[in-house]
Structure 1
Amino acid sequence: FALLTGKCGPPPLVDFADTIEITKNEYNSEERVEYTCFNKYTLVQSHPYSKYLTCEDGEWRGKIKCLKPCSVSVEVMDERGLELRWRGREKIFSSHGDRITFSCKSGKYSVGSDLIQTCNDGDMDLPLCD
């Protein structure tokens, strides 16, 4: 909220992110607050986004965006005849931009889809093996 003095109140909540320091109740103009994304979320740092919000004349300015991770469970992979190329985990979490390599279970073959998929802001097309 804007204060009459040109100062800002506490910084706003940002989806999937927290401030890296304890917040204050009041900030002077030009003071900035740094945010970090939750675990496995990816901070966008290309224009117009950054990791900071800045108090300017009583208002918080700036844009922060955290991209969601992808998750895949063993149950979902079983339904699609898949397994991880690299074994050993019950559920995988991958950050935005990560490439995951699947393989077909023994006796099954890929049905028209690439076995290497990329996580895109929480979405990933899972291959199908039959």
Structure 2
Amino acid sequence: MDVSASQNELLGCETPPFLGNGDIKDTMKTHYSHTERVEYVCQKYYIMEGEPSRTCINGEWTGQMRCLKPCTVTADDIRHQNIAFKYRDANKMYSTHDDVIEFKCTKGQPVNNVGLRQKCNDGVLLLPSCQ
């Protein structure tokens, strides 16, 4: 079989799949050729898990990725729990996935089973409480 003839039979792809909390780096097109690749980027504070691109292979998009959510801590959360950031420069209200944040009690001692050192996990950050 002629290789160039088989290349002509390979299908292109429609618009690439949506990525939650992410965007395509370049201008999106309505049609992509076989083996054409698109690159994605996550929104601010979101972290990419997986390869940052998808490739059109015979009409199907290959590649898997997702944007992991940041964790947020509000001033009200901190006040309500009687905690503060352990380090002065750690005034992080936003922390990316896998960031470790250390807290200290502003009064009293820790009262729940949540440690003063916590790690952000896809938007979830357990807060210690002190009394």
- Please indicate the TM-score interval, normalised by the length of the shorter structure: 0.7 to 0.9
- Could you tell me which residue of structure 2 aligns to residue 7 of structure 1? 12
Q: Match for 1:29 among 6, 11, 34?
A: 34
Q: CA, structure 1 residues 99+39, in 2 after alignment: closer, same or farther (shift >3 Å)?
A: same
RMSD: 2.0
Supply the AA of the counterpart residue of 2:36.
E
> Which residues of structure 1 form unaligned runs of 5+?
none
Q: Percent identity?
A: 35
Q: CA, structure 1 residues 113+64, in 2 after alignment: closer, same or farther (shift >3 Å)?
A: closer
Residue-by-residue CA offset, 1:57-113 (whole Å, 9 max, x unaligned): 1121211111110001010111111111234787600000000111111x3211243
Q: Higher helix proportion, which one?
A: 2
Matched, 1:19 2:24: yes
Separation of aligned partners in 2, 1:67 and 1:114: 23
Matched, 1:66 2:67: yes
Give 4+ residue runs of structure 1 displaced > 6 Å after superposition: 88-91
Separation of aligned partners in 2, 1:88 and 1:73: 16
- Could you tell me which residue of structure 2 aligns to residue 129 of structure 1? 130
Separation of aligned partners in 2, 1:66 and 1:102: 26
1:74 and 1:90 in contact (8 A); partners too: no
Q: CA, structure 1 residues 23+16, in 2 after alignment: closer, same or farther (shift >3 Å)?
A: same
In the TM superposition, what are the counterparts of 1:64-103 in structure 2 within 5 Å? Answer: 64-87=65-88, 92-103=93-104
In the TM superposition, what are the counterparts of 1:32-51 in structure 2 within 5 Å? Answer: 32-45=37-50, 50-51=51-52
- Could you tell me which residue of structure 1 aligns to residue 108 of structure 2? 108
Separation of aligned partners in 2, 1:12 and 1:113: 38
Query: What TM-score, normalized to structure 1?
Result: 0.85
**CA radius of gyration, larger in:** 2
2:15 and 2:30 in contact (8 A); partners too: yes
